Amino acid sequence: MSQWFECKVKYDRTMENGAMKTVSEPYLVDALSFTEAEARITDKMQPFISGDFKVDAVKRVNLSDIFYNEGGDRWYKVKTNFITIDEKTAVEKRTASYQLVQASDLKGALSVFLEGMHDTMADFEIASIAETPLMDVFPANLDETRADREARQKAQNKS
């Protein structure tokens, strides 16, 4: 099961008018620990940011699933209530769950979410869908070994 961490990266960005502005952007990283999350986001961001940057914050995020859509450029958080019935009391119980959906708009997010959930046997209701400020999501690369990461890091340090 994936553990997701939201990492805020702070750096100086050159704006369209040429002015420098310090920005803080959130990214989502799949990692085993806070330390690995910080290392992974640093590794992922180095090629894209010229100059210094720092990881301002790392926090654990409760997500049960992520639905990717290559055509999407935004990330939406969907709160889903799974409905179960207590056999003894016959009372409905709702258990909240959160999913992340990649889409280009709210309607597309709903469509991608429903398509991803079409095989679900459990009853559920969508409580909310909201756009997140996430810039990108970095799932774990399970094919990459620790030796591969260290070799890549050494190559980057030499250049």
For 19-56, give the DSSP string.
-EEEEEEEEEEE-SSHHHHHHHHHHHHTTT--S-EEEE
Q: Which two tokens stand for residue 110?
A: 């709903």
DSSP 94-128: EEEEEEEEEESSHHHHHHHHHHHTTT--SEEEEEE
Band (141; pLDDT cuts 50, 70, 90): confident
Kindly tell me if the per-residue pLDDT of 159 is higher than 90: no
Q: Judge whether residue 132 has pLDDT over 60.
A: yes
CA distance 51 to 11: 8
Query: What is the token pair recorded at 103?
Result: 């889409």
Average per-residue pLDDT for the chain: 89
DSSP H/E element including 154: helix 146-158
DSSP letter (8 states) at residue 134:
-
The model's pLDDT over 83-111, given as tens digits with 9 standing for 90+, comes to 998 888 889 999 999 999 999 999 999 99
pLDDT of residue 140 exceeding 90: no
Sign of CA dihedral 142, 28, 69, 64: positive
* Residue 57 pLDDT > 90: yes
Structure tokens at 21: 């502005």
Phi, psi angles (nearest 5°) of residue 110:
-65, -45
Distance, CA of 108 to CA of 85 (rounded, Å): 31
What are the two backbone dihedrals, phi and then psi, of residue 46, each rounded to the nearest 5 degrees? -50, -45
Beta-sheet pairing, 53-61 with 20-30: unpaired
